[in-house]
């Protein structure tokens, strides 16, 4: 019969310490990764909120001008210039969406926010045509597109909230 080797207590202690160090390092790495993911998501959310706030401010300003135009307080040529400037400004938001680094869960909501803005631009172009021609059919088209843009934005907000709470899209 073979004699069983006695475990070296010093060696056992070294293995235990190494295992503990590896466990601590792994916990630190996982926590760091989770913190970075959270920060990335927070940064994305803040940048997206800023784009949406800037877009809202631009739209409110334009709507105020449109109300003045409808009341006869702004001449047609000035309203066309205001509309052209507004459309260019809203178009400048599209690259801002593209430059965002969205966590994967938030990609669907980001695409819906962008689609909402693209549809708003189409609405604004139809509105511009109404200003030029006075054709009420183009005003109706603009209103329909604006409603569609609003629906995309509501869907985007819903998608964003689901992603934020960790739900599936």
Say which residue, 68 or 24, is predicted with more confidence.
68
For the ranges 12-26, 71-85, 98-112, the maximum mean pLDDT occurs at 71-85
pTM of the prediction?
A: 0.77
Mean pLDDT value across residues 66-70: 95
By the 10 Å C-beta count (0-12 exposed, 13-18 middle, 19+ buried), 68 is classed as middle
> Which of 121, 106, 152 has the alpha carbon at shortest distance from 55?
121
What mean pLDDT comes out for the span 82-87?
Answer: 97
């Amino acid at each position: 019969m073979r004699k069983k080797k006695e475990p070296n207590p010093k060696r056992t202690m070294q293995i235990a310490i190494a295992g503990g160090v590896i466990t601590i390092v792994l916990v630190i790495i996982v926590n760091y990764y989770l913190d970075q993911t959270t920060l990335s998501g927070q940064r994305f959310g803040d940048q997206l909120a800023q784009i949406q706030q800037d877009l809202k401010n631009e739209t409110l300003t334009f709507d105020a001008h449109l109300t003045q135009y409808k009341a006869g307080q702004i001449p047609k040529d000035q309203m066309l210039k205001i509309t052209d400037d507004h459309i260019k400004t809203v178009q400048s938001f599209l690259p801002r969406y593209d430059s965002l680094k969205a966590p994967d869960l938030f990609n669907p909501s980001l695409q819906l926010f962008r689609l909402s803005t693209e549809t708003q631009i189409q609405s604004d172009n139809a509105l511009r045509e109404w200003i030029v021609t006075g054709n009420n059919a183009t005003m109706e088209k603009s209103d329909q597109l604006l409603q569609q843009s609003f629906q995309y934005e509501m869907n985007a907000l819903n998608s964003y909230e689901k992603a934020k709470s960790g739900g599936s899209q």
